[in-house]
Amino acid sequence: MSHDRRMFRQDSSWMICYCPSVLSSLEMNLAVRCHLRDTEESSLEIKGMSKPSESTRLFRKGEGSRKQLTLQLMMAVGTAVIGSLQFGYNTGVINAPQKIIEGFYNETWYSRYSEYMSSSTLTTLWSVSVAIFSVGGIFGSFSVGLFVNRFGRRNSMLMANILAFIAAAFMGFSKLAESWEMLIIGRFIVGLYSGLSTGFVPMYVGEIAPTSLRGALGTLHQLGIVVGILMAQIFGIKQIMGNSTMWPFLLGFTFIPALLQCALLPFCPESPRYLLINQNEEAKAKSVLKMLRGTEDVGADMQEMREESRQMMREKTVTIPELFRSSLYRQPIFIAIMLQLSQQFSGINAVFYYSTGIFEKAGVSEPVYATIGAGAVNTAFTVVSLFIVERAGRRSLHLIGLMGMAVSSVLMTIAMALLTKVDWMSYVSIVAIFSFVAFFEIGPGPIPWFIVAELFSQGPRPSAIAVAGFSNWFANFLVGMCFQYVEELTGPYVFIIFTVLLLLFFVFTYFKVPETKGRTFEEISASFRTGADKYTRDDLNTMGADSQL
Same domain, 131 and 80: yes
Residue 227, domain member (yes or no):
yes
Q: What is the pLDDT of residues 437-462, one digit of tens each?
A: 999 999 999 999 888 888 888 788 88
Residue 282 — pLDDT band, cuts 50, 70, 90?
very high
In sequence order, which residues have a C-beta less than 8 Å from that of residue 220 and are 6 or more positions away? Answer: 77, 78, 81, 84, 205, 386
Same domain, 360 and 460: yes
Same domain, 384 and 433: yes
Residue 543, domain member (yes or no):
no
**Mind giving me the DSSP string for 131-199?**
HHHHHHHHHHHHTHHHHHHHH-HHHHHHHHHHHHHHHHHHHHTTTTTT-HHHHHHHHHHHHHHHHHHHH
Same domain, 339 and 234: yes
Answer with the residue of higher pLDDT: 414 or 51: 414
Q: What is the pLDDT of residue 68?
A: 74
Q: How far is CA 124 from the centre of its chain?
A: 30
Residue 84, domain member (yes or no):
yes
CA distance 439 to 445: 9
Phi, psi of 94 (to 5 degrees): -80, -10
Same domain, 81 and 36: no
Domain count, the chain: 2
Nearest to 271 by CA among 201, 213, 215: 201
Q: What is the pLDDT of residue 38?
A: 46
Q: Which of 105-114, 318-327, 411-420, 524-533 has the lowest mean pLDDT?
A: 524-533
Q: What is the pLDDT of residues 6-63, one digit of tens each?
A: 433 333 333 333 333 433 443 444 444 444 444 444 444 433 344 444 444 444 444 4
Residue 174, domain member (yes or no):
yes
Q: Which of 44-53, 64-73, 335-344, 455-464 has the lowest mean pLDDT?
A: 44-53
Same domain, 42 and 151: no
Residue 426 — pLDDT band, cuts 50, 70, 90?
confident
The residue range of the domain holding 214 is: 66-530
Answer with the residue of higher pLDDT: 543 or 229: 229
Residue 130, domain member (yes or no):
yes
Same domain, 97 and 6: no
Residue 55, domain member (yes or no):
no
Q: What is the mean pLDDT of the chain?
A: 82
Count, residues in the chain: 549
**Mind giving me the DSSP string for 226-253?**
HHHHHHHHHHTSTTTT-STTTHHHHHHT
Same domain, 83 and 37: no
Residue 533 — pLDDT band, cuts 50, 70, 90?
very low
Q: What is the pLDDT of residues 356-395, one digit of tens each?
A: 667 777 667 777 787 788 889 889 999 999 889 888 888 9
Q: What is the pLDDT of residues 296-336, one digit of tens each?
A: 999 989 998 998 888 777 766 688 899 999 888 999 999 99
Q: What is the pLDDT of residues 130-160, one digit of tens each?
A: 889 999 999 999 899 899 989 999 999 999 9
Q: What is the pLDDT of residue 458?
A: 79
Same domain, 230 and 81: yes
Same domain, 7 and 96: no
* CATH number of residue 92's parent domain: 1.20.1250.20
Answer with the residue of higher pLDDT: 123 or 165: 165
Residue 209, domain member (yes or no):
yes
Work out the average pLDDT over 390-412.
93
Q: What is the pLDDT of residue 362?
A: 67
Based on its alpha-carbon atoms, the radius of gyration of the chain, rounded to whole angstroms, reads 25
Answer with the residue of higher pLDDT: 122 or 534: 122
Same domain, 43 and 94: no
Residue 150, domain member (yes or no):
yes
Same domain, 334 and 367: yes
Q: What is the pLDDT of residue 490?
A: 86
Q: Judge residue 439's burial from the number of C-beta atoms within 10 Å of its C-beta, 0-12 exposed, 13-18 middle, 19 or more buried.
A: buried
Q: Judge residue 28's burial from the number of C-beta atoms within 10 Å of its C-beta, 0-12 exposed, 13-18 middle, 19 or more buried.
A: exposed
